[in-house]
């Protein structure tokens, strides 16, 4: 995790005057909240980098739409792509908002390949099939999600295998 903090994150805490948070962590809670994401969040705090993690700021029962406000109030975005990321409509809304904000995005590919995110294949494909078949789903929004994932999947980031995380 310390390798994530070197270089990319060092200037975050010194240039964040107009932002409430240096980093917004986007992740699928069931996949990484109690493991990698919690560890990363703690390390960011240890290094003086203010990070937004939904369980730290958002209380149970609060509108999840408030998450989108926290994205706007963050300087850097760090989506942690995992096998279940595309199953979450909220994760997909977050990544779309991050791309729209046109700020630095540092993707973490946690136990998934960048191509899975970029092309919505393997673990991402079944989730998008469900979104596509959902009659209540706005298909333009689904296309926006796909574009956002393609954009971020093409960015340089960190590729981590679950079995190498200690």
Q: Which of 8, 11, 20, 94 is catalytic?
A: 94
* 118 contacts 153 by C-beta, under 8 angstroms: yes
DSSP string, 29-60: HHHHIIIIIHHHHHHHHHTT--EE-HHHHSPT
Beta bridge pairs of residue 118: none
Using a 10 angstrom Cβ sphere, with 0-12 exposed, 13-18 middle and 19 or more buried, the burial of residue 133 is exposed
The yes-or-no answer on residue 94 being catalytic is yes
If you count them, how many residues does the chain have? 166
**Among candidates 17, 1, 30, which has minimal Cα distance to 9?**
1
* 9 contacts 19 by C-beta, under 8 angstroms: no
Q: To which residue do tokens 């560890």 refer?
A: 39
Name the phi and psi angles at 28, rounded to 5: -90, 110
Provide the annotated active-site residues: 94
């Amino acid at each position: 995790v310390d390798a994530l903090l070197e270089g990319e994150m060092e200037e975050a805490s010194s240039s964040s005057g107009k932002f409430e948070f240096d980093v917004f962590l986007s992740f699928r809670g069931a996949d990484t909240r109690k493991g990698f994401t919690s560890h990363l969040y703690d390390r960011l705090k240890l290094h003086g980098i203010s990070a937004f993690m939904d369980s730290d700021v958002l209380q149970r029962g609060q509108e999840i739409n408030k998450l989108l406000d926290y994205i706007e109030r963050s300087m850097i975005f760090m989506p942690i792509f995992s096998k279940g990321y595309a199953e979450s409509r909220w994760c997909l809304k977050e990544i779309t908002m991050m791309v729209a904000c046109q700020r630095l995005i540092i993707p973490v590919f946690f136990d998934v390949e960048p191509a899975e995110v970029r092309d919505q294949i393997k673990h991402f494909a079944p989730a998008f099939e469900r979104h596509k078949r959902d009659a209540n789903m706005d298909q333009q929004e689904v296309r926006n999600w796909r574009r956002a994932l393609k954009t971020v999947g093409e960015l340089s980031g960190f590729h981590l295998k679950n079995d190498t995380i200690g």
